[in-house]
Homo-oligomer: A and B are copies of this chain.
Amino acid sequence: MFVLVNLKAYDCDPVAVAAAAADVAEETGARIAVAPQAARLGAVAATGVETWAQHVSPVAHGSHTGSTHADAVATTGAVGTLLNHSEKRLKLADIDAGLDAADAANLETVVCANNPDQIAAATALGPDAVAVEPPELIGGDESVATADPDIVRDAVDAAGEVDGDVDVFCGAGIATGEDVAAARDLGADGVLLASGVALADDPEAVLRDLVDPL
């Protein structure tokens, strides 16, 4: 199981969360990555944690002011990127081009989507993984794996029918090790987390609990 902690634009210390994640990953052998704001990628990567971007732009080098260029991301030490998160929905053509940009910079890719149909569509574009996050559960108190287990199963099936080599993650409301285990039991290869870790009083304790069942 891959545990990806998305720090969004939260009012948190990304370096402190990253250091906690690096410690837990090293001690437990779990794979934990942290995705901070683009401006903080270098500081996060310097902690030694596996570092991901929250987004890269669907562009090659050139006149693209205000873009998040995949090469600039990779130069900081980041090794992967989310694409099409529900808070940064992209045009279909731009997901495709964003995957090309990420591939060119040797970044791993996870394309997010709302439902199994969109998961199938995202899988057809050839990312390393897809992630299903029902918008109505994001930021909520109940884990997708218990609130809507069918959507996880259906997403796993939908991706598998298109391309069995693409991993499937799930996210929304995941907060505990039980939630992670439930996601795994539904066929997920990883989980996306956000406020449950980023805004916790003790992110390290939360992360230890999260990876405990793995």
Contact = CB atoms under 8 A, between A and B. Distances in A.
Nearest to A38: B38
A57 B68 CA distance: 12
B10 A62 contact: yes
A11 B71 CA distance: 9
B87 A92 contact: no
Interface string A73-88: 1011010001011111
A43 B40 contact: no
A84 B92 contact: yes
A194 B36 CA distance: 28
Nearest to A120: B124
Interface in A46-69: 53-55, 57, 59-69
20 contacts: A8-B65, A9-B69, A37-B38, A37-B67, A38-B68, A39-B42, A39-B73, A54-B66, A63-B138, A63-B139, A63-B194, A65-B82, A86-B93, A89-B93, A90-B91, A90-B92, A92-B113, A93-B118, A96-B121, A120-B124
Given A9-B65, A42-B43, 7 more contacts: A10-B61, A55-B66, A63-B139, A68-B68, A90-B92, A96-B114, A96-B115
Interface of A: 6, 8-11, 14, 36-43, 53-55, 57, 59-69, 71-73, 75-76, 78, 82, 84-96, 113-115, 117-118, 120-126, 138-139, 158, 162, 194-195
